Amino acid sequence: MSANIFSIVAEANSKAHNEQYSAEAAELLNKNVKDWLNYEIIVDGKPVPTNTRVKFDNCLHAPNYTVFSNTTSAQAWNDIADPPNHVVPLESPHNDMHLAVGGFQVGTDDFSPISGANGDMGENDTAGLDPIFFFHHCEIDRYFWRWQLEHNSTDYLEIIPEYPGTNSVDSQGPTAGVPGGIWLTIDSELQPFVKPDQDGKPSYVTSRDVTNIETQLGYVYEMPPAFLHTLPPRQAAEVSASIKGINKNEIAGSHQLVVYAKFPGDKNRKIVAVESVLSRWHVSGCKNCQSTQDVQRHALLHGIKNEDLESGNVEVSVEVVTRSETHRRGKLGATAPTPRLEVIGKGGRSFSGRSS
């Protein structure tokens, strides 16, 4: 009886909440997603794209599967590479689109015209409840396949042995069914997915079993001929930002690392990069999350030249943007987390940035 009453109350509350939506709210969300994909700034009178679409284009130029696949491996690669050779992992624009559909605006804290209407897609706990989740991951899968076609990797994926991001317990999170401290390979088990072996006994699927979507899984993406073997131009940057020192356990929910630059003659700072961190509201209560608490990201800073760093003409800063009212009021700690910002120029030379 009590469960039935709870269901009736929950349904009534949901109906009342949904009635607040209007055509205007839907238009605002659509505009928000477009802004993430097309955002640009003006530097020296010229438009400079600093958006998620640029990330999608750049990730296709990643030289191997390991750094293409995840932010941890890409971070390790970028730690020792000059900014023009930095890679963008597919996980980065993937996370951006989760937050875009989930209601985050680009670098602001005005996330929804309706209080409490933060979208399911913006949090790990609830993303799968939004039907668009499956369309989004289909698009990610399409980019994955396009990368495979362009890099002759349709039948084999190179996993750099014992590289950051390829352990069963590291910044990418625990691997289901695999003990901690195990280095992953293309033949590691993908539990709980089971296949029958030749003797009729079940065994677990591995990445080797599902590398080629056409010959092994029986589907393929139709792409315009211009897409095949013609990558969009790589938009390199002379300068990048290394952002470290953030503990996800101190932040309720997903958040953004927003990098700003104040150029000579400008009154206001401009957004030159956004790195999205897809998280969950109750991260402190998630046991698996405890092994992935440290957030580290590299971000390409389009529009800033090495000479700007040398002369000190451009001021670069970073801040954590979260949509949690509880966090912004300081109830999770005395102050908001302050990231460490290192701006990297030619030859790996380091310049100090400002955290706010």
Identify whether 101 is part of a domain. no
Identify whether 118 is part of a domain. no
Burial 270-295 (b: 16+ CB within 10 A, else e): bbbbbbbbbbbbebeebeebebbeeb
Question: Can you tell me whether residue 11 is helix, strand or coil?
Answer: helix
Hey, which bits of the chain come out as E strands? 40-43, 46-49, 189-196, 202-206, 240-247, 255-262, 270-277, 294-300, 315-322, 340-344, 350-352, 354-355
Bond into 192 cis (ω within 30): yes
In terms of residues, how long is the chain?
356
Q: What is the sign, positive or negative, of the torsion defined by CA atoms of 64, 65, 69, 70?
A: negative
In which domain, by residue range, is 206 found?
167-210
| Same domain assignment for residues 247 and 342 | yes
Closest listed residue to residue 296, CA positions, set 101, 147, 122, 91: 91
Identify whether 8 is part of a domain. no
Q: What is the sign, positive or negative, of the torsion defined by CA atoms of 70, 49, 33, 260?
A: positive
List all residues 6 or more positions away from 306 whose beta carbon is below 8 Å from its beta carbon.
Answer: 238, 239, 345, 346
| Same domain assignment for residues 246 and 351 | yes
Question: Can you tell me whether residue 296 is helix, strand or coil?
Answer: strand
Digits of tens for pLDDT over the chain (356 positions)? 444 555 677 677 767 766 777 677 778 788 889 999 999 999 988 999 999 999 999 999 999 999 999 999 999 999 999 888 999 999 999 999 999 998 888 755 455 555 555 678 888 888 888 889 999 999 999 999 999 999 999 999 999 999 999 988 777 666 777 777 889 999 999 988 998 776 777 789 999 999 999 999 999 998 877 777 778 888 888 999 999 888 777 787 888 899 999 998 888 899 999 999 888 877 766 666 666 667 888 899 999 998 988 888 899 999 888 775 444 433 344 355 788 888 988 877 877 766 55
Identify whether 320 is part of a domain. yes
Identify whether 289 is part of a domain. yes
Identify whether 264 is part of a domain. yes
| Same domain assignment for residues 266 and 334 | yes
Closest listed residue to residue 52, CA positions, set 87, 102, 109, 90: 90
Q: What are phi and psi of 297, to 5 degrees?
A: -145, 150
Rg of the chain over Cα atoms, rounded to whole angstroms, equals 22
Domain count, the chain: 2
Identify whether 267 is part of a domain. yes
The pTM is what? 0.87
Tell me how far apart the alpha carbons of residues 230 and 227 are, in angstroms, rounded to a whole number. Answer: 6
Identify whether 247 is part of a domain. yes
